[in-house]
């Protein structure tokens, strides 16, 4: 695949965006979480999904979050993705405290700063690929002509230039996940949040998707990957292991698995 940056003509914009996150050239954390806890009230019982979690993630990091089911991994992901707010503690996201924000403010943050990639793709079944990718731009208030252009571009760079008007049920699993990735990238978010992105794919296709993530990472994006599979987590540079609502381990991957750059244009 041609190794130019997916949005090369907007490279200048991108640099400017990234500069916002630095202070006099010094790297600032995109994510700075301090002692957050999440408590659910189930009937008369309190469930502590997260007990006391602190963590920092810098720009252009590639982090995997691992943990068994019930570990609090999903709760952490929801909070990181601004889908939910912590009961206690402070979540500082791109220099903004989002832990006390209301629904509409969170929606705006999700729209502009976070690109979601889900296990089940979560595309709108009745809309074609282009409209699916356009959707976040619609909510951002981008005018029609510009957003069609940008959506088309994003699809092109995940290797789906010829599938623009296909609906999800006319696409393979791998292609659907590529549409979802294009949708996540199209707003040029600060982080890409991928929840088991290969969970519904066969090994070969999963590997292609991981190659695509690696490309995206190498172009300067920040990726947070939630998974329970060790070999998928090893694509990342850093692994956070969660258990019983606490970070059990925060480790750097010594022998990072780097997939072959074959993915994008192939599927």
Partner 1 sequence: MKNFLFELKEGLSISFRAIRANKIRAVLTTLGIVIGVTSVVLMSTAIKGIDSAFQKGVASMGSDNLYIDKWEWFNNDIPWWELRNRRNLTMEDYNKYKELAKLPVASAPTVWSTQTVKYKERTVEYIIIQGTTSDYINTTNLNFDTGRFFNELESSGGRQVVVLGSEVAKKLFPRGDALDQEVKIKGHKFKVVGVLAEQGSWVMGNFNPDNQAFIPIQNVFKFFQNQSFRSVTFNVRAPNSQMVNEVKEEAIGVMRRVRGLRYDQANDFSINQQEALLTQIDKTVGVIQIAGLFITGLSLFVGAIGIMNIMFVSVKERTREIGIRKAIGAKKSTILTQFISESAIICLLGGMIGLILAIILSLVINQFLPTSIQVDAFVLAVVISILTGVISGFAPAYSAAKLDPVEALRYE
Is 103 a binder of partner 1 (CB under 8 A)? yes
Q: What gap in Å lies between CA 3 and CA 218, rounded to an integer?
A: 10
Among 39, 47, 83, 101, interactor with partner 1 by CB under 8 A: 83
Q: Which two tokens stand for residue 122?
A: 């979560």
Among 1, 37, 101, 107, binds partner 1 (CB under 8 A): 107
Q: Are 197 and 223 in contact (CB under 8 A)?
A: no
Question: Which of 17, 34, 52, 84 is the binder for partner 1 (CB under 8 A)?
Answer: 84
Q: Work out the angle between the directed axes of helices 173-185 and 129-140 (0-180°, nearest 10).
A: 20
b vs e for 194-221, b when ≥16 Cβ sit within 10 Å of the residue's Cβ? bbbbbeebeeebbbbbbbbbbbbbebeb
Nearer to partner 1, 99 or 214 (CB): 99
165 vs 266, beta carbon nearer partner 1? 165
The interface with partner 1 within residues 108-167 (CB under 8 A) comprises 108, 110-112, 116, 118, 122-127, 131, 135-136, 138-141
How far is the C-alpha of 121 from the C-alpha of 12, rounded, in Å?
31
**Smaller CB distance to partner 1: residue 133 or 267?**
133
8 A C-beta contact, residue 196 and residue 119: yes
Shortest approach of partner 1 to residue 139 CB, angstroms?
Answer: 4
- Which of 77, 211 has the CB closer to partner 1? 77
Residue with Cβ nearer partner 1 (5 or 139): 139
Q: Minimal CA–CA distance to 256: which of 226, 232, 240?
A: 232
Decide whether 2 or 103 has the Cβ nearer to partner 1: 103
- Backbone φ and ψ for 34, nearest 5 degrees, come out as -125, 115
- Check residue 56 for interaction with partner 1 (CB under 8 A): no
Q: Does 53 sit near partner 1 (CB under 8 A)?
A: no
CB of 172 to partner 1, least distance (A): 20
Q: Where are the alpha helices (DSSP H) in 164-246?
A: 173-185, 203-218, 230-233
Query: Euclidean distance between the first and final Cα of the chain, in Å?
Result: 12
Q: Residue 147 or 157: which CB sits closer to partner 1?
A: 147
| DSSP single-letter state for residue 168 | G
Q: Does 78 bind partner 1 (CB under 8 A)?
A: yes
- 81 lies in the binding site for partner 1 (CB under 8 A): yes
Binding footprint of partner 1 on the chain (CB under 8 A): 78, 81, 83-84, 103-104, 107-108, 110-112, 116, 118, 122-127, 131, 135-136, 138-141, 183, 187
């Amino acid at each position: 695949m041609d190794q130019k940056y997916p949005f090369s003509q907007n490279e200048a914009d991108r640099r400017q965006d990234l500069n916002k996150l630095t202070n006099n050239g010094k790297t600032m954390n995109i994510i700075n979480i301090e002692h957050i806890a999440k408590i659910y009230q189930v009937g008369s019982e309190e469930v502590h999904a997260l007990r006391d979690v602190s963590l920092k993630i810098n720009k252009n990091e590639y982090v995997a979050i691992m943990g068994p089911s019930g570990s609090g991994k999903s709760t952490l992901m929801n909070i990181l993705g601004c889908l939910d707010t912590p009961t206690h503690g402070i979540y500082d996201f791109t220099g903004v405290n989002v832990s006390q924000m209301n629904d509409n403010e969170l929606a705006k943050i999700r729209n502009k700063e976070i690109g979601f990639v889900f296990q089940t793709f979560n595309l709108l079944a009745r809309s074609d690929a282009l409209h699916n990718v356009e959707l976040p731009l619609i909510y951002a208030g981008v005018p029609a002509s510009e957003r069609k252009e940008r959506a088309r571009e994003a699809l092109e760079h995940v290797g789906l230039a010829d599938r623009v008007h296909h609906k999800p049920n006319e696409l393979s699993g791998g292609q659907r996940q590529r549409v979802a990735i294009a949708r996540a990238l199209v707003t040029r978010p600060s982080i890409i949040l991928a929840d088991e992105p290969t969970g519904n794919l066969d090994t070969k296709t999963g590997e292609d998707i991981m190659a695509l993530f690696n490309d995206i990472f190498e172009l300067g994006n920040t990726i947070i990957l939630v998974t329970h599979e060790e070999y998928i987590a090893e694509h990342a540079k850093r692994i956070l292991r969660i258990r019983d609502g606490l970070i059990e381990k925060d480790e750097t991957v010594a022998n990072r698995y780097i997939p072959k750059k074959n993915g994008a244009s192939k599927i």
